[in-house]
Amino acid sequence: MLDEIKTTRLAKKIAESGVASRREAERLIEAGHVKVDGVIVKTPVCFVTGENVITIDDKPISKTPDKIIVWKFHKPSGVLTTKRDTKNRKTVFDCIPKINQRLIYIGRLDYNTEGLLLFTNSGDLARKMELPSSGLKRTYRARILGTLTDEQVQKLKKGITVDGVKYGPIEVKFETPRNKQSANSWIQVTLSEGKNREIRKVMEYMSCKVNRLIRTSYGGITLGDLPRGAFVQLSDREMQEMLRRI
């Protein structure tokens, strides 16, 4: 019977609901917090269908929303992109309004990174937008201490490997003419992978230090003049344009 029904790994199903990331879901499963049809499951190697009732600490996870909605948030520096923090530091969920929707962030930003952070009520959409295979561009403004040479810019454009980690093509544009740059210069950086602290690590490898980083766009959605700390829903036009790119 199950061969005729689409099955999904339990941890993936939980992640798609927005309750936790897939890694966090695996930890919850192994700790015995998850039940499928009332039975505790302690192995992530478990497959479920849309007919199964999945609960975490006896609370059912949410079903796929009837309408997918996306919001954009201007994240300030000094805020964690996570649902909860064991050290009680401020998180993005402390900064956004409480609404009657389960929110999932799309592509986390580091503690000290500012700018555009997208939220959605669809775990499936969040997963698709984060996958490198989506090819969605992320653009940042970075203030760097140091100077990038033309040779370094070309290396970044081809992709480089740092400490055994391979980074895909990174496009760099200078906001200030090369002959007018000071010790701190602004550059625009565009990439499509968004690995952990990618820009900071790559620039450090190039002997430059990033002392400010602002994400200005993700998948064609731009930060624009959205004030710091503001949280707004995308318009229908923005939604249509974004979904076409996935």
Round to whole Å and give the CA distance between 132 and 42: 30
Q: Which tokens belong to 67?
A: 């309408």
Round to whole Å and give the CA distance between 108 and 117: 7
Exactly one of 66, 110, 124, 150 is catalytic; name it. Answer: 110
Q: Which tokens belong to 63?
A: 């079903």
Question: In which region does residue 11 sit, left (phi positive, over 0), alpha (psi from -120 to 50) or beta (all else)?
Answer: alpha
Round to whole Å and give the CA distance between 67 and 122: 9
Residue 43 identity? T
Looking up tokens 């249509």 gives 240
Question: Nearest to residue 113, comparing CAs of 212, 2, 228, 5?
Answer: 212
Q: Is residue 124 flagged as an active site residue?
A: no
Report angle CA 111, 74, 190 to the nearest 5 degrees: 75
E strands, 29-170, in order: 34-36, 39-40, 47-48, 54-56, 59-60, 70-75, 104-106, 114-120, 138-145, 160-162, 165-167
Q: Which residues are catalytic?
A: 110
